[in-house]
Each structure stands twice: as C-alpha cells, then as structure tokens.
Structure 1
Amino acid sequence: MKRILALIIMLLIVGSGIFAWIQRTDQNENLLYLYGNVDIREVQLAFRQPGRVAQVLFDEGDFVVAGTRMATLDAQPYQEALAAAQASVQVARAELAKMHSGLRPQEITQTREALKQAQALAHRAEHDYVRVSKLLPSRASSQHDVDSTRAARDQAVAGVRAAKAALSQAEEGFRKEDIAAADAQLAAAIATQDQATTALADTELYAPSDGTVIARIREPGSMVASQNAIYNLSLDHPVYVRAYINETVLGRITPGAPVQIRSDSSRKIYHGQIGFISPRAEFTPKTVETTELRTDLVYRLRIVVNDADPALRQGMPVTVEVDTRPTADLSAEGS
C-alpha cells in the first residue's frame, strides 16, 4: 500500500513538472526578443546672432530645465542698434503726424499775405502798363517803355497765380501720395526696430527642454558666428530604443504593442511600446559584428520607453522582449 501511494505521489510530481515545462515552452514561443541600443536625442544649442560670448553658465553633466538661460553674448552692439532703430521710428512717426496735421496756421497766414502782396504788385503793374500805353501815341513814351511795363504786368500776374496755388496747397495740406509714403516709411522703421529687438533677445541662449549638458563647446570671450554650437544638450525625454527585426518575424509585431526592456547594467525592467516600424528594408548596421547578420535585410524599429531614468544612457545595448500573443489572450491573463 505504501508503495502504491509513493508511486502515485511520484507520478503527480512528474506530471506537474511536465505541465509546467509545457506551459513555459508555450510562453517562450510567444516571446520575441529584439536587440537594440538606447537612442537619446541631442540638440546643438547656438546663438542666432554673431558676437562675443559673455557668459557660459553650465558645465558638462549639469541638468537644466526648459527655459533656463544657459549663455549670453555681449549685448552692447545690439542695444545700440535698437536705440538707433527706436530713434528712426520717432522721426518717421513725427513726419507722418506733421503731414496729417498739415501746415501751421501761421504758415497759412503767411501764404495768404503773400497772395495779397502779389495782387497789389499786379494791380500796380497793370496801372503802369495802361498809363504808358496811353502816352505812346503822343510819343511821351517809347515802345520800349510799353514793352517793359507789359512784361512787368505779366510777371506780376504770374506771381498772383503762384501765390494762389501756394495758398490752396497750404489750406488743402499734403497730398495723399506723400502721406502714404510717410506711412510706409514709418512701417519700415518699425520693422527695423522689431528686427533689432529680436536680435537683442537672441543674445541670450535658453534651454529648449529638460536635458543634460554633454558638451560645453565655447568659453567666455570667444567670438562666434551665428549657428556656432555653444552646448550639446542630451534631452531627457523622450527616450527611444533603436532595434532591428528580421522580415521573417515582422508579422508578429504591430505599432503600439507593449514591450519590456532590459539592460546589462541593472536588473530593472523598463516598459514601453513599439512606436514606429520602418516601411523600408535595410542592411543590418555595422555595429552588429557577425558577418552573417550584417548581410541580412532588416526593418528598423523605434521603441518608446515610458519609464526611462538616467540609468539608460546613449548607445547602451538593451534587450527588448515582445509578447506576441493576441491582445485578447493578454487581457484574459491579466484578469
């Protein structure tokens, strides 16, 4: 009886082991392992304006948050340019206001009095011409005198017409075309002022997002051209994994599928999802040393790491585990 009981217990243990092995085998068949590298995006920070570097406020390894001022240029040339642009705007605005206002009352009065003076001269010239002309038959005056007084009369009449036109212009104000030209000059001066304001603001360099300084390229006193890098900034988020998959197993994964990520440097398991599958095949990168693998055509994957931390560093090799079971099976297992 004891032998039968021991045999039954042994059969149960063996059966449990076989069942567990079968389950584990089935589970392993559903797991797909990919191998890749951590891909953290970097930004080269540079000024949009040339100048002399005044301050470089951070060193390699420093963490910065978005909006932090990281470096400055000598701002004096740009401050002076802005002051000149502001003065030009004031001049253009005053010129436009003057044209809209027209001439001053005193200037209009002056042109009106000039017209009266021209009319008086014309009246005197007409009187002299008539008097000399009447004396010509009696030879009390000569033809030369007549011609001279006629020219003086005509000149005086022309003076009257000019004085009337000047008065009309003074009372009407400046032409619409002149006002439009002055308005355009003011707009151009304002645009130049805006450019000077932007250039002055560009003498300060700010972090575009949270990250870690991985290279400090310039020092205070350096002369830099526009777009010369001052820092290399490693962005903390987002963190990706770049991996490659063979065409034969490409159908087992889909964008959005959850993954687990492991590195050789720690036992921590990171979580993420497949964010991008390249539609174009390419040869395995040269970083893969095996000759056979380097000749395979593969598809590039981008995997988004949801819970990345500073332990994941640029270029670090990682293993990506993808559970290729259908979503319904995963949901049933979770419940």
Structure 2
Amino acid sequence: MPRLMVLLAALLLLAGCDRPSSSGLLGYVEADYIYAAPVSGGRITEVAVQRGDSVAAGARLFALDASDETAKRDQAKAALDQAKSNLADLMTGERTEELAIIQAQLDAAKASMTLSVPRVERRRKMVTSKIVGEEEVDEAESALLADRGHIAEYTARLAAAKLPARADQIAAAAHAVTEAEAALAAAQWSLDQRTVVASADGRIEDVFFRAGEEVSAGAAVLQLLPPPNLKLRLYVPEPQLGAYKIGQKLDIACDGCAAGQTATVSFIATSAEFTPPVIYSRESRAKLVYLIEARPDDTAQPWHPGQPIEASPAP
C-alpha cells in the first residue's frame, strides 16, 4: 500500500509538469506558393524541371502542344503580308506595263492628229476648187476632232494612272493592315502561352503532371516557392498584443536554424482566435490569441513550411 501511494504521488507530480514556459511567441513557417498553370488546356509535351530544382525568373517550366496555335500564327502572318501588299499597291498607282500601254495609245493618237491636220487643209482647198464635196471636208474635220479627243483622254488616263488610289481606299487598306497586325499579335500571344516560364526566382516544391498528360486550363502543373513568399505565423496572447507592431523586429529560434535569425512583423490580426492545435503547449492551449505574421530577413536560410519556430521581440 505505501508503494502504491508513492506511485500515485509520482504520477500526479508528472501530470503537473510540462515543458518549461517560454516568454516567446510560438508559431511555424508557412509559404505562399505560386501554382504555375496554363491559360488554355492541352497535352503536356515537356516538363523542364523536377521537384527540388532551383529556377530563375523566366526559366522554362513546361510546354503544351502548340500545333494549332502555330498554324493560326502562320495564317495571321500571311494575312498581314497580303494586307501590306494591297496597301503598297494602292500607294504606288498602276504598274509600269499598264502605264506603257496608255502611253502607246497616247502616242498613236498624236500621230493620227499629225495626219489629220494637213488632211483638213487639203480638203478645204479641194472644196474651193470644186474637186471634192463638203462631205469630205466634214469627214476630215470629224477625224481631227476624234484625234484631239483621244489625246485628251489618254493624257488624263496616264496622269490618273500615275496617281495613288483614292484617299478612302488607302485608308481602308491601312485599317486592314492594322487589323491584321492585331490578329497576328493575338495569335503570337496564344502561341507564347503554350510555354510557361517561372514568374520569379524560387524552388520547385512539387510537380503534379508529367509529359504526355492532358491538363485543363487553370490547372496547376507545378508548385513554385519564391523565398520572399515565406512567412512566419506566430500567435500572441491577448494581454501581450500591445507589445507588437508592424515593422517590429523579432528574434527567431528553431531547430536547425542558424543563430541570429530575425524577422519583421508584416501583419497583425484584428480578431482573436483560439490557439491552433499545431501550437502545442500547456500554458497556451485554450487561450485567445492573435495571429501575427512576420517575414524572415534572411531568405537564404533553409526555412521549411510547417517547421515550428519561436520568436521574441528583438532588443
């Protein structure tokens, strides 16, 4: 019986003991991940990274089949080339061969007129001598008038052929070029989106799809963690809340962390909550606490999301 009493006393003593209380804040490391996803679905043709790789901003992450987008880009480029050719044709007037035809017609009309003028003079003299009648004079004068008309016509046609098209035609062609350029830019953008690159420096935390698999639009293919996206979630009891403010420096301690780690308070919650289950300590459980977030000052330190930490105000 005395031995049983001793055992019960020992158990009660152990039950009343807990880990030493700490004046610091308890919390853990958390991360805001970037989920790289395509803007449109398709078959993955390449995954250029593996889990654990460190990548730089702009590095190629993965690519999707781009056959359809490439064809549409080439079609848009051909349409732009045609629109530019139409505009250039309207700006330069008729071709050299067409100008040569009109010039030849003008030269023929001038040559015919050189014969018509003396013919009229001769017919008039012959009418005076009663050799020919008035009808032949009328025919010669009519031919002369026809030659003059042809000369005027071909001269005007030649001048018009050397001019560019009407202003409204040129404006319409210019608008067509602008529209074709916009279509090409849109097609090129769609093609570029088939290759996804890293938006920031970081570490590949996970890869969810492999080459050959189908992925839908907006579905994350991999998980990227940039070092600036690391944060520390800490919980401060309500009586101590006034001791913390945005921008305040904190000393950070954790298992495996290098000595002298610090962080800067970036967020203080305005509403209280019960201590999360992950923050296990007898003195803090079942208490109302406020969430504080802090950004590590040394992102080169190998912080691990989920890692327990302890923080205290820096001197």
Q: What TM bracket, shorter-length normalisation?
A: 0.5 to 0.7
1:77 to 2:50 alignment: no
**How many residue pairs end up in the alignment?**
250
Question: Match for residue 263 of structure 2?
Answer: 273
Give 1:277 shift: 3.3
**1:285 and 1:88 mapped to 2: Cα distance?**
64
Instruction: Say whether the 8 Å CA contact 1:270–1:307 is kept in structure 2.
Output: no
**2:265 and 2:290 mapped to 1: Cα distance?**
13
1:68 to 2:59 alignment: yes
Question: Match for residue 295 of structure 2?
Answer: 304
Give 1:172 shift: 4.8
Question: Match for residue 195 of structure 2?
Answer: 204
Quick one: percent identity of the two aligned structures? 22
**1:48 and 1:304 mapped to 2: Cα distance?**
31
2:46 to 41, 55, 74: 55
**1:106 and 1:322 mapped to 2: Cα distance?**
89
1:217 to 2:208 alignment: yes
Question: Which structure shows the bigger proportion of residues in strand conformation?
Answer: 1
Structure 1 pair 191–267 and aligned structure 2 pair: CA distance change class (3 A): closer
Higher mean alpha-carbon deviation, 271-280 vs 232-241, is at 271-280
**1:276 and 1:236 mapped to 2: Cα distance?**
16
**2:239 and 2:306 mapped to 1: Cα distance?**
26
Give 1:291 shift: 12
> TM-score with structure 2 length normalisation?
0.66
Question: Match for residue 170 of structure 2?
Answer: 179
- Structure 1: gaps (5+ residues): 1-30, 118-159, 324-329, 331-335
Structure 1 pair 103–295 and aligned structure 2 pair: CA distance change class (3 A): farther
Question: Match for residue 33 of structure 1?
Answer: 24
Instruction: Say whether the 8 Å CA contact 2:257–2:301 is kept in structure 1.
Output: no
**1:267 and 1:50 mapped to 2: Cα distance?**
42
Question: Match for residue 249 of structure 2?
Answer: 258
Instruction: Say whether the 8 Å CA contact 2:249–2:265 is kept in structure 1.
Output: no
Question: Match for residue 273 of structure 2?
Answer: 283
**1:309 and 1:97 mapped to 2: Cα distance?**
59
Instruction: Encode CA deviations 1:127-168: one digit per residue, 9 max, x unaligned.
Output: xxxxxxxxxxxxxxxxxxxxxxxxxxxxxxxxx9xx89x948
SS at match of 2:183: helix
> TM-score with structure 1 length normalisation?
0.63
Structure 1 pair 231–318 and aligned structure 2 pair: CA distance change class (3 A): same
Give 1:285 shift: 6.0
Instruction: Say whether the 8 Å CA contact 1:277–1:299 is kept in structure 2.
Output: no
Amino acid at match of 1:226: A
Instruction: Say whether the 8 Å CA contact 2:245–2:268 is kept in structure 1.
Output: no
Give 1:310 shift: 5.6
Instruction: Say whether the 8 Å CA contact 2:27–2:232 is kept in structure 1.
Output: yes
Question: Match for residue 8 of structure 2?
Answer: none
Instruction: Say whether the 8 Å CA contact 1:242–1:302 is kept in structure 2.
Output: yes
Amino acid at match of 1:271: Q
Instruction: Say whether the 8 Å CA contact 2:56–2:200 is kept in structure 1.
Output: yes
Structure 1 pair 100–284 and aligned structure 2 pair: CA distance change class (3 A): farther
Give 1:292 shift: 8.5
**1:273 and 1:292 mapped to 2: Cα distance?**
22
**1:225 and 1:192 mapped to 2: Cα distance?**
25
Structure 1 pair 307–267 and aligned structure 2 pair: CA distance change class (3 A): closer
Instruction: Say whether the 8 Å CA contact 2:252–2:263 is kept in structure 1.
Output: no
**1:295 and 1:42 mapped to 2: Cα distance?**
30
Give 1:169 shift: 5.9
Give 1:226 shift: 2.8
CA RMSD of aligned residues (A): 3.5
